[in-house]
């Protein structure tokens, strides 16, 4: 499986998963023209995308979904709550799914895990490639880490994880108190420290890539996010060299993992 982060942050989020003949986007939070140009930089034709799975209705995740789906024939999938909150989505065909459910899309088996965020019914996504068994997870816009989320993210091969803000930079940054509270609250976003703790909890030798996403431009720096998460991983089964920061305005990746044989899994302790 290959994973490209086409861009991640408050200006837009879109992640491409590829396995076999299937190409699925998680979120389409950029205008369709930007999505097309980012896909073009990695040689992917827009018409080759099978489907978009939306994690929630916020514009930085859903902005380009309807136009792209209509223009290029992409299937759209979202929870009922997401469809209800997004006027554009109610006007076109959308395959709805329940949070905390599993379903198939092309070559992928998808697990949608309900997360805590100030949206109608937001989810994290775990995608398993049917051929190789490789698992990738995308967890951003996460206000607090639940037992269900921690369990879902364990044993994945590629993890795209939010490291939104540095707690001190948020406290002394430009936002008014109400916005600071929203971001740091239980329905807001994960800080670097929280991302580090979660990464440490999920660390196992089979984790090939940890991609830090949704980095705040106002209250974080790529180097700070990277250092904080690497500090938390010190002494764990995951080397800090496996951690990378995703860009907002450019493609990061591909992150790639291939299936492991049973004996390799035994050796890795996965
Ligand atoms: Zn959001
Ligand atoms: Zn977001």
Cα 80 to averaged position of ligand 1 atoms, centre (Å): 16
Cα 215 to averaged position of ligand 1 atoms, centre (Å): 13
Which tokens hold the place of 23? 């190409």
- Give the pLDDT confidence score for residue 90 in this predicted structure: 84
- Least confident span in 31-35, 204-208, 262-266: 262-266
Cα 132 to averaged position of ligand 1 atoms, centre (Å): 31
Is residue 261 scored above 80 in pLDDT? no
Is residue 262 scored above 90 in pLDDT? no
Task: Give the residue, 120 or 270, on which the prediction is more confident.
Answer: 120
Give 153: exposed, middle or buried? Use CB within 10 Å, 0-12, 13-18, 19+.
buried
Is residue 178 scored above 70 in pLDDT? yes
> Which ligand approaches the C-alpha of residue 162 most closely?
2
Average pLDDT estimate for 227-253: 96
Cα 12 to averaged position of ligand 2 atoms, centre (Å): 7
Calculate what percentage of the chain has a pLDDT beyond 90.
93
Ion ligand 1 contact residues with beta carbon within 5 A: 58, 141
pTM to 2 decimal places: 0.95
Cα 141 to averaged position of ligand 1 atoms, centre (Å): 5
Is residue 266 scored above 60 in pLDDT? no
Report CA 212 to chain centroid distance, whole Å.
9
Paired strand residues for 76:
52
Cα 117 to averaged position of ligand 1 atoms, centre (Å): 7
Average pLDDT estimate for 102-109: 97
Phi, psi dihedrals of residue 186, rounded to the nearest 5° = -75, -5
pLDDT in tens, 64-96: 999 999 999 999 999 999 999 998 898 899 999
The domain ranges of the chain are: 2-252
Average pLDDT estimate for 211-233: 98
Cα 261 to averaged position of ligand 2 atoms, centre (Å): 36
Task: Give the residue, 126 or 261, on which the prediction is more confident.
Answer: 126
Average pLDDT estimate for 238-252: 96
Is residue 260 scored above 80 in pLDDT? no
- Give the pLDDT confidence score for residue 259 in this predicted structure: 75
Cα 26 to averaged position of ligand 2 atoms, centre (Å): 12
Which tokens hold the place of 172? 């002394």
Cα 124 to averaged position of ligand 2 atoms, centre (Å): 12
The DSSP result for the chain, as a single string, is: -EEEEEE-STT--EEEEEETTEEEEE---S-HHHHHHHHHHTT--GGG--EEE-S-S-HHHHTTHHHHHHHH--EEEEEHHHHHH-HHHHTS--EEE-TTEEEEETTEEEEEEE--SSSSS-EEEEEEETTT--EEEEE-S-SS--HHHHHHHTT-SEEEEE--B-HHHHHTSSS-HHHHHHHHSTTS--BHHHHHHHHHHH--TT--EEEEE---SSS--HHHHHHHHHHHHTTSSS-GGGEEE--SSS-EEEEE-----HHHHHHHT-
Cα 60 to averaged position of ligand 1 atoms, centre (Å): 7
CATH of domain 2-252: 3.60.15.10
Average pLDDT estimate for 182-198: 97
């Amino acid at each position: 499986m290959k994973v490209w982060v086409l861009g991640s942050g408050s200006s837009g989020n879109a992640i491409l998963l590829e396995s076999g003949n299937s190409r699925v986007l998680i979120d389409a939070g950029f205008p369709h023209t930007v999505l097309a140009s980012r896909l073009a930089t990695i040689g992917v034709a827009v018409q080759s995308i099978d489907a978009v799975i939306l994690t929630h209705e916020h514009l930085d995740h859903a902005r380009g979904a309807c136009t792209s789906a209509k223009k290029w024939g992409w299937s759209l999938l979202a929870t009922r709550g997401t469809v209800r909150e997004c006027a554009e989505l109610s006007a076109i065909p959308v395959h709805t799914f329940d949070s905390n459910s599993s379903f198939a899309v092309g070559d992928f088996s998808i697990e949608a895990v309900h997360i805590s965020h100030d949206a109608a019914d937001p989810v994290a996504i775990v995608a398993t490639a049917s051929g190789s068994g490789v698992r990738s997870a995308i967890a951003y816009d996460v206000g607090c880490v639940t037992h269900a989320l921690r369990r879902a993210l364990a044993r994945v091969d590629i993890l795209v994880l939010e490291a939104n803000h540095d707690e001190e930079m948020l406290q002394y940054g430009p936002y008014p108190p109400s916005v600071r509270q929203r971001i740091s609250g239980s329905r807001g976003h994960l800080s670097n420290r929280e991302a580090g703790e979660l990464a440490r909890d999920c660390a196992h030798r089979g984790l090939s890539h940890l991609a830090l996403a949704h980095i705040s431009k106002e209250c974080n720096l790529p180097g700070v996010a990277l250092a904080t998460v690497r500090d938390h991983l010190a002494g764990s089964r995951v080397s800090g060299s496996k951690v990378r920061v995703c860009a907002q305005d450019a493609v990061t990746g591909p992150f790639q993992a291939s299936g492991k044989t049973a004996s390799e899994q035994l050796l890795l302790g996965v």
